[in-house]
Structure 1
Amino acid sequence: MNTTNNIVPAQVIALKKQQVILKTETNEVITVAAPKGKNKHKIFMLTMTDLLRSGLWIPVNRVLHQLMRYDWFDTQIINYSF
């Protein structure tokens, strides 16, 4: 099975209490569950709200229904060098 096509760019198009709804370039709709835990959930949903407003494309695994964890999501700002 070729997993390269499973990672696709998607935009956040809607937010629900425990879910993020994304749309791929081919208009496939993917639902991702928000993380459990009050602090993680709050920060995650604030980030998703910003992505919804900005329209940025983010990597998502269309089969596993998970956001890909790359530097854009995991690295703290103090770890970046400009």
Structure 2
Amino acid sequence: MLLDNNLRIKNIMPVQIVKVLYPQITVRSEAGEYLIVNISEQQLADPLFWATAKDIAHAKLWVPLGRTYHQLLADDWVLPQKDELALLK
């Protein structure tokens, strides 16, 4: 189930990665606001994370970012399956 139908969507904003320069990622929101992504220690040490971030920036894809902590979301735009089951009850 997509997050469009869930209240959690209010805590998420779509952004485009505009600059990837270790150890910082800069994104642009739909409103044109530029933000710095908060990156975890694990992400800092992960070369695959940085390569993927560069690929996403090159493709100009929109990715979900948490509004409060400015962190990229691992589960993308989809609710985890357990949340889907709770909505069906």
Settle same-fold status: TM greater than 0.5: yes
Please say if 1:66 is aligned against 2:68: no
How far residue 17 of structure 1 moved from its aligned partner, in angstroms, is: 1.3
Of 35, 46, 54 in structure 2, the residue corresponding to residue 49 of structure 1 is 54
Q: Which has the higher strand share?
A: 1
Q: Which has the higher helix share?
A: 2
How far residue 71 of structure 1 moved from its aligned partner, in angstroms, is: 5.5
- Taking only aligned residues, the RMSD between alpha carbons, in angstroms, comes to 2.6
How far residue 30 of structure 1 moved from its aligned partner, in angstroms, is: 1.6
**Secondary structure, in 3 states, of the residue corresponding to 1:10?**
strand
Q: Which runs of 4+ in 1 moved over 2 A?
A: 2-6, 33-41
Mark the runs of 5 or more structure 2 residues left unpaired by the alignment: 1-6, 78-89
Contact 1:19 1:32 in 2 (8 A): yes
Specify the structure having the higher radius of gyration (Cα): 2
In the other structure, the counterpart of 1:7 is 12
**Secondary structure, in 3 states, of the residue corresponding to 1:63?**
coil
* TM-score, scaled relative to structure 1: 0.70
Mark the runs of 5 or more structure 1 residues left unpaired by the alignment: 73-82
